[in-house]
C-alpha cells in the first residue's frame, strides 16, 4: 500500500479511530492502578507499565496480522468484531468493584500489563484488520494512537461521556472494518473479485448499518427491561404552597451546570421568606466490569468520589457566598434515571440542570443526560443554558 495513496491514509485513520474507541477502558485501568502511589512513583509506574503494554500490543497485533492470512480466520474475526461493536452500544451494568487492590509500583505495573493483555483482544483484531497486512502502516498507526490514548485518556473519556455519538460512530467504524474483513478472507476473496466486486463497499456499509441498528435496538430493549424491573415511582403532584420547598440541582462540572447553580441561587434569594431546601447531586457513570476486575473496590470508590468532588467544586462557592446551605449527594449510576430516582426518594418538587445543547433553527438540542432526566422525572425539570 503506497503511502501517497488515499487507501493508505484511510486505513491509518481507521487504525487511530479504532484505538481511540477501544482503548478507553485500558486508559482507565492505567490511571486507577497508579493513583494510590506517590506522585513520583505514579509517573514511573505509568511510564513502565504503558511502555511494556505498547510493546506487547505491537507484537500481538503483528502476530494477528499474520494469522489473518489463513483461510476462515478473517470470517471468524469479522463475526467477533461485529459482536464487539454491538456491545459498545449496550449500556454497561454497574461493576461489582471487587477487583484486587494495587499498593506498590510493582503491583501497579503488573496490573497494567495483565489488564492490557486481557482487554486488548478486540483492539488487536480490529487494528490488524484495518492494517490489511501492511506492517509499516500498522506500526505507524499504533505509534500515533497509543500515546494519544495514554496521555489524553481523561479528555477522551470526558468527550465520549459528553457526546455519546462518538461511541456510535466508533461502533459503526468497527462494523465497517468487519464487513471489509469478511469479503477479503482467502476463502471468498477470489469469488468476490470475479463475480461480485461491489461487495467490497456494500459489505462494509452493511456491517456499519447492522451494528448501529442492532446495537440501538438491544440498548433500547435493555433500558426497557431495567425500567420494568424497577419498582414504579408514585408521583404525587405538589400543591401550590409546596412547589419550591425542595429543589434538586444536578451538576456535572460544566459551564451550563454553573449557570444552573446561579439560577438556583437567584431563585432561593427570591423565596427568602420560605423554607426551601437545596439538594445538589453529581452522578458518575459506573466503570465497565472489565475495569473493576483489575482494581480494588476502594480504589474505584475513591476515583468516583474524586471526580464527583471536582464536578461540584465550581458551584460550592456560589452557594457559600450567598449564605445558602446545600445537601450534597455523590452517586454512581446511569445519570438520567439516577437523578430522577433521587428526586423522587427525597421528595424534590423541581429538578434544575444545565444542558449541553446547541442552538439550531429548530430550537435547542439538549444533551443525552438532560433528555434522559426529562424522560424519567416525575416532577418539572428546569433546563438552563
**Domain for residue 234, yes or no?**
no
Tell me: do 280 and 208 sit in the same domain.
Answer: no
| Confidence band for 122, pLDDT divided at 50, 70 and 90 | low
DSSP lists the bridge partners of residue 352 as 249, 382
pLDDT value, residue 126: 75
Lowest mean pLDDT of 113-127, 147-161, 255-269, 327-341, name the range.
147-161
First to last CA, the chain: 49
Task: Give whichever of 91-105, 133-147, 178-192, 220-234 has the largest mean pLDDT.
Answer: 178-192
Q: Alpha-carbon torsion 332, 337, 339, 343, what sign?
A: negative
CATH number at residue 286: 3.40.50.620
Tell me: do 180 and 246 sit in the same domain.
Answer: no
Tell me: do 168 and 75 sit in the same domain.
Answer: yes
Region 112-117: mean pLDDT is 64
Task: Give whichever of 54-68, 217-231, 360-374 has the largest mean pLDDT.
Answer: 54-68
Total number of domains in the chain: 2
**Domain for residue 65, yes or no?**
yes
Tell me: do 147 and 218 sit in the same domain.
Answer: yes
> Is 71 strand, coil or helix?
coil
Tell me: do 289 and 377 sit in the same domain.
Answer: yes
Tell me: do 22 and 118 sit in the same domain.
Answer: yes
pLDDT value, residue 241: 42
**Domain for residue 235, yes or no?**
no
Q: Write the pLDDT tens digit of every residue in 199-220.
A: 989 999 999 999 999 988 988 8
Tell me: do 317 and 174 sit in the same domain.
Answer: no
Tell me: do 269 and 308 sit in the same domain.
Answer: yes
Which of 179, 199, 227 marks a domain boundary? Answer: 227
Mean pLDDT of the residues in the chain? 76
Measured in whole angstroms, the distance separating CA 4 from the mean position of its chain's CA atoms is: 34
C-alpha to C-alpha distance for 371 and 366, rounded to whole angstroms: 6
Tell me: do 340 and 369 sit in the same domain.
Answer: yes
Strands (E), the chain: 246-250, 277-284, 327-332, 350-354, 358-360, 363-365, 381-384
Q: Write the pLDDT tens digit of every residue in 255-287.
A: 888 999 999 998 888 877 677 889 999 998 877
Tell me: do 159 and 248 sit in the same domain.
Answer: no
Tell me: do 273 and 205 sit in the same domain.
Answer: no
pLDDT value, residue 327: 93
Angle at 21 between CA 14 and CA 117, to 5 degrees: 100
**Domain for residue 232, yes or no?**
no
Instruction: Give the domain range for residue 93.
Output: 6-227
**Domain for residue 1, yes or no?**
no
C-alpha to C-alpha distance for 385 and 255, rounded to whole angstroms: 9
Tell me: do 267 and 172 sit in the same domain.
Answer: no
pLDDT value, residue 233: 46
Which of 173, 204, 227 marks a domain boundary? Answer: 227
**Domain for residue 297, yes or no?**
yes
Amino acid at each position: 500500500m503506497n503511502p501517497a495513496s488515499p487507501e493508505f491514509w484511510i486505513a491509518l485513520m481507521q487504525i487511530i479511530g479504532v484505538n481511540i474507541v477501544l482503548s478507553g477502558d485500558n486508559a482507565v485501568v492505567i490511571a486507577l492502578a497508579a493513583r494510590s502511589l506517590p506522585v513520583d512513583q505514579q509517573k514511573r509506574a505509568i511510564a513502565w507499565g504503558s511502555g511494556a503494554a505498547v510493546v506487547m500490543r505491537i507484537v500481538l497485533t503483528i502476530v494477528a496480522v499474520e494469522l489473518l492470512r489463513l483461510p476462515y480466520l478473517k470470517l471468524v474475526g469479522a463475526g467477533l468484531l461485529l459482536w464487539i461493536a454491538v456491545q459498545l452500544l449496550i449500556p454497561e451494568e454497574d461493576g461489582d468493584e471487587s477487583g484486587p487492590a494495587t499498593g506498590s509500583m510493582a503491583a501497579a505495573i503488573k496490573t497494567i500489563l495483565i489488564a492490557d493483555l486481557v482487554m486488548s483482544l478486540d483492539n488487536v483484531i480490529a487494528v490488524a484488520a484495518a492494517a490489511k497486512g501492511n506492517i509499516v502502516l500498522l506500526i505507524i498507526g499504533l505509534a500515533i494512537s497509543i500515546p494519544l490514548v495514554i496521555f489524553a485518556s481523561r479528555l477522551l473519556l470526558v468527550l465520549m461521556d459528553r457526546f455519546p455519538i462518538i461511541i456510535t460512530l466508533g461502533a459503526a467504524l468497527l462494523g465497517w472494518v468487519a464487513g471489509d474483513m469478511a469479503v477479503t478472507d482467502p476463502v471468498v476473496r477470489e469469488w468476490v473479485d470475479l463475480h461480485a466486486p461491489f461487495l467490497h463497499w456494500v459489505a462494509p456499509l452493511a456491517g456499519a448499518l447492522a451494528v448501529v441498528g442492532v446495537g440501538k435496538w438491544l440498548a433500547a430493549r435493555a433500558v426497557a427491561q431495567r425500567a420494568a424491573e424497577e419498582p414504579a415511582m408514585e408521583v404525587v403532584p405538589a400543591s401550590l404552597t409546596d412547589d419550591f420547598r425542595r429543589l434538586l440541582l444536578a451538576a456535572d462540572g460544566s459551564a451550563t451546570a454553573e449557570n444552573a447553580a446561579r439560577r438556583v441561587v437567584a431563585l432561593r434569594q427570591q423565596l427568602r421568606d420560605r423554607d426551601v431546601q437545596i439538594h445538589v447531586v453529581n452522578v458518575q457513570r459506573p466503570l465497565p466490569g472489565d475495569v473493576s476486575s483489575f482494581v480494588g473496590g476502594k480504589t474505584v470508590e475513591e476515583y468516583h468520589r474524586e471526580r464527583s468532588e471536582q464536578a461540584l467544586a465550581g458551584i460550592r462557592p456560589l452557594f457559600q457566598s450567598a449564605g445558602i446551605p446545600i445537601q450534597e449527594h455523590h452517586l454512581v449510576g446511569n445519570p438520567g434515571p439516577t437523578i430522577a430516582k433521587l428526586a423522587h426518594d427525597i421528595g424534590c418538587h423541581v429538578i434544575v440542570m444545565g444542558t449541553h445543547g446547541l442552538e439550531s433553527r429548530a430550537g435547542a438540542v439538549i444533551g443525552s443526560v438532560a433528555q434522559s432526566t426529562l424522560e424519567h422525572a416525575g416532577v418539572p425539570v428546569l433546563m438552563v443554558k
